[in-house]
Amino acid sequence: MNWVTICYLNDIQPGFAIHVEHNGRPLTVVRDRVDEGKAYIYNDACPHAGASMAGGEANSDHCFVCPLHKWEFDLDTGRCPDNDDIVWPSHPTRVTEAGEIQLGK
Ligand code: FES
């Protein structure tokens, strides 16, 4: 797998996210609230009604909450705990020792 740096841990407050455009593709990058060295890359659009997830926030159940209608998505699986059929699409992610958040292709 090839890895490309799209942002840095220091760009994101723990438990929050930022919007990143990569090759014209809108993405939301989340920094874990508990394990501050962990990050997740998702599509930017919420699978419910397309809101940008970058304005959301992680909760204490290890879910990320959409800012528009407050649907929750598990950070490890992208699945909505209230409906397993609804998935927020994720992308391969790793964080380097230097704090680079990288997207795998
Ligand atoms: S657009 Fe995200 S919960 Fe409705």
Q: What is the mean pLDDT of each run of 10 residues along the chain (105 residues)?
A: 97 98 97 95 98 97 97 97 95 98 96
**Ligand 1 pocket, residue 19 CB under 6 Å:** no
Ligand 1 atom 4 nearest Cα: 69
Phi, psi values for residue 9, rounded to 5°: -50, -40
Q: Could you tell me which of 16, 89, 86 has the C-alpha nearest to residue 58? A: 16
* pLDDT value of residue 28: 98
Q: Which atom of ligand 1 is nearest to the CA of 66?
A: 2
Question: Which pTM does this prediction carry?
Answer: 0.96
Say if CB 65 and CB 74 are below 8 A apart: no
* CA separation for the pair 97, 36 (Å, rounded): 13
pLDDT of residue 11: 97
Q: Ligand 1 centroid to 98 CA: how many Å? A: 34
pLDDT at residue 99, as a whole number: 98
Q: How far is CA 70 from the centre of its chain?
A: 15
| Structure-block tokens of residue 39 | 């990050």
SS3 59: coil
What fold does the segment set 3-104 form as a domain? Answer: Rieske Iron-sulfur Protein (2.102.10)
Atom of ligand 1 nearest to the CA of 53: 2
Tokens 């998935």 belong to residue:
87
Largest interatomic CA distance in the chain: 37
How close is the Cα of 15 to the center of ligand 1, in Å? 18
Asked whether the beta carbons of 58 and 70 are under 8 A apart, the reply is: no
Does the CB atom of residue 54 touch ligand 1 within 6 A? no
